[in-house]
Amino acid sequence: MVFPKLRWNWASALAILCIGLVLMSGMAQAAHFHALGTVDHDCALCVAAHQLAYTTPLITLDCSSRPVASLPIAIRRVQPRRAIFFRLISRPPPSGTAVLA
């Protein structure tokens, strides 16, 4: 199996850098603690972690339904079968030479 040669450009380097920053910030937040175990009000991570998310009231929609009259059953028309099958009904399209003539 032959693997194609990887080409690095600025977009792929930027993507790897962003992924690395997200992983490092997640580890920093998970491993973050203070000596006394209390929240430090001067620490940016503690302030951001203890901010309350703004809540919005729940939007409810009142749905109502009305009974709908049922559709009548469609009557299927029975077409008589053809006694004679005409072959030119399903003939192939003309060839290209017939169009030019």
Q: What is the pLDDT of residues 61-86, one digit of tens each?
A: 877 778 777 777 777 777 777 666 66
Confirm whether 68 is domain-assigned: no
Measured distance CA(22)–CA(20) in Å, rounded: 5
Q: Confirm whether 67 is domain-assigned.
A: no
> What pTM does this model have?
0.39
Predicted pLDDT at 17: 96
Q: What is the pLDDT, as a whole number, of residue 97?
A: 65
Q: pLDDT under 70 in the chain at which residues? A: 1-3, 82-92, 96-101
Question: Does residue 44 lie in a domain region?
Answer: yes
pLDDT at 85: 63
- Say if 41 falls within a structural domain: yes
Cα 4 from Cα 10, distance rounded (Å): 19
Contacts of 47 (CB under 8 A, 6+ apart): 41
Domain presence at residue 69:
no
**The predicted structure's pLDDT at residue 98:** 58
Residue range of the domain that includes 46: 9-52
In a domain, 57, yes or no: no
Domain count of the fold of the chain: 1
With respect to residue 22, please indicate whether it lies within any of the assigned structural domains.
yes
Tell me, yes or no, whether 30 lies in a domain.
yes
Neighbours of 9 (CB within 10 A): 7
